[in-house]
A and B are shown apart, each in its own frame.
Chain A
Amino acid sequence: MRPLAEIATAIDVAGRSPDAVAGATELLGLGEAVLEHWLAAHDDVPTAGAREGFRLLALHRQGAGGEPSFNACRETCRELVFHYNLITLDAAHADTARRLAMMAMVAMHLYLFISGKLESAKLGEFCCSSRPVRANAG
C-alpha cells in the first residue's frame, strides 16, 4: 500500500498533470488508496467491488460501516467522482484544467479528513509503533 505521506504529494502532482484524463484517473485512484488505508487500519479487506460504477464509492460505503462520523466524507467522495466524470466525459472542455485543479483539492480534503481521523484514533501509520518511521520519513 502506498504510504499516506506519498499520497499527499501525488495528489499535488496529479492535479497539475498536462494530461487531464490521466490526472483525473490518478486522483480517483489516490482517493481509493486513502480509503484502503482506513479499511486496513480497521482490519478490513478493501472491497474490489463497485457502487454506482465506482470502486471509490464502494470503499466509502464499506468504511462507513459502524462509524457514522465517517459519512462526513460521503459527499467528498461523490464530488471526486463528479469531477472525474466532468473531466473524462468532455476532456476538450475549456474548464478542464480548472476542473482538474478542483478535483485535486477535493482529493486532498479526503486525504486530510481520513489521515486526521486515523491520527486521532492512533491507527494505521499513526499508531505508536509506526510513528518514528513516519516522523523520520517526513
Chain B
Amino acid sequence: MEQKYKKVAYYPGCALEGTGHSYNRSTKEVGKALGLDLVEVENWNCCGAMEVKNIDPKIQTYLSSRVMSIAANEMGFDTVMAPCNGCYHNLKKAEYDLGQDAETAEVVERLSTKAGHETYKAGQIETIHALDWIKDSLGEEGIRQRVKGGLKGLKVANYYGCMYTRPRHIFPEKDKGPGSESTLKPHYMDDLLAAAGAENVDFPLKTACCGGAHTLSDSDTSTRLVLNILRAAEASGAEVIATECPTCHSGLEMHQIRAEKKLGEKTGVKIVYFTQLLGLALGLGARQVGIHENVSDSLGFLKQKGIA
C-alpha cells in the first residue's frame, strides 16, 4: 500500500520566506530525513492572511483558492501541505466557503477567469498542516524507528496557537475519535515530540492567543499575553516551548525580548520550532535545521542537553 502523504504539494507561504526561514529550512530537512517529498507550489501567492481578509473576505478566499488551483489543476496534486497556521487556516476556510457559499464561489470563478487560470472547486484537494503530514504519514512508531540521538527527556511545552483548530467547522477531519486531532486539546505535536524522546509538560495555554493580531496596534497587550504564556510554560516545568506557526513563534521570540526590556520581566524558556526539535532527534545538525537563525538563542542550551 502506498504511504500516505509520501509526496505532497508544499505551500510555505510568505512568513516562511522571511521571519520563519528556519521553519522552512527545518521542514524541508525533516522531510528529506523521513523520506517524504515536498514539491513547492509553483508561482504561489499570499493566502490573503489577515490584511486582505479584513478588507474583503471573498478576495482572501480567491487568493487561497488560486494556490489550491495551481497545486490541483496545474501540478496534479491531491494534497497541499501548509506549515503556517495562518495559511493552513485560510486554505481550509476557503475550502469550506467554496463548498457552502454560492456567492463566494461565483466571485472566485469570476476572478479566476479574469486571472486566466482554472477555477478551484471545493473538494479537489486536501489541505494539511505540517503536523498532519508527519503524524499521518509515519506515526509515532515511524518516528521512534528513525530517531537517532533523541530529545532525551527534554521538557517541552507544546504551543499550537489559536488558529490551528479554530473555527471547528472548517476542520471536518478533526475530532473523529481516537487517533484524530482534537480541536479542544490538540496533541499531534505532543505525540511526535514524545516519540522523539521529549517529556511533554501539562501546559494549559497551548491554544491561547499570543496577541499576534495586536502586535502592531497594541504591542503592550501582545507583550503581556506572551509574557503570561512564557511564565505559564516555565511554571509547568518546560525548558522549551515548541511551536508550529511562524507568526506565533516570532511573537513569542520578539515579545520575550520586549518583556525584558520594557517590563523588566526576564524569562529563560527557549522557543524552538517542532520541526527543528524533530530534526535534531533524527540526527540532523543544528545548522541544518536553522537553530542559528532563531532569535531565541537555544544553541548553547541544546548542546548542554546533548541534543545539538
Residues of A within 8 A of B (CB): 68-69, 71-76, 78-79, 82-83, 98, 101-102, 105-106, 108-109, 112-113, 115-116, 119-120
- Residue pair B162, A116 in contact (C-beta under 8 Å): no
Encoded as 1 (CB less than 8 Å from any A CB) or 0, chain B from 148 to 184 comes to 0000000000000010001100000000000000001
CB-based nearest A residue for B232: A105
Identify which of A101, A109, A120 contacts B205 (C-beta below 8 A): A109
- Residue pair B209, A72 in contact (C-beta under 8 Å): yes
Residues of A within 8 A of B204 (CB): 79, 82-83, 102, 105-106
CB-based nearest B residue for A64: B167
Q: How far is the CB of A31 from chain B (nearest CB, A)?
A: 13
Q: How far is the CB of A105 from chain B (nearest CB, A)?
A: 4
- Residue pair B235, A101 in contact (C-beta under 8 Å): yes
CB-based nearest A residue for B225: A112
- Output the residue of A75, A105, A108 with the most chain B CB within 10 A: A75
Residues of A within 8 A of B228 (CB): 105, 108-109, 112
- Residue pair B221, A116 in contact (C-beta under 8 Å): yes
Residues of B within 8 A of A68 (CB): 166-167
Tell me if B144 counts as interface (CB < 8 A to partner A): no
CA of A95 to CA of B224, assembled, Å: 26
Total contacts A-B at CB 8 Å: 70
Chain B binding surface, main DSSP class: loop
- Residue pair B224, A112 in contact (C-beta under 8 Å): yes
CB-based nearest B residue for A108: B228
Pick the interface stretch among B211-219, B260-268, B285-293: B211-219
- Residue pair A120, B218 in contact (C-beta under 8 Å): yes
Residues of A within 8 A of B235 (CB): 98, 101-102, 105
Q: How far is the CB of B157 from chain A (nearest CB, A)?
A: 12
If A75-B207, A75-B208 touch, does A116 touch B225 (CB 8 Å cutoff)?
A: yes
Q: How far is the CB of A109 from chain B (nearest CB, A)?
A: 5
- Residue pair B209, A73 in contact (C-beta under 8 Å): yes
Identify which of A78, A106, A113 contacts B225 (C-beta below 8 A): A113
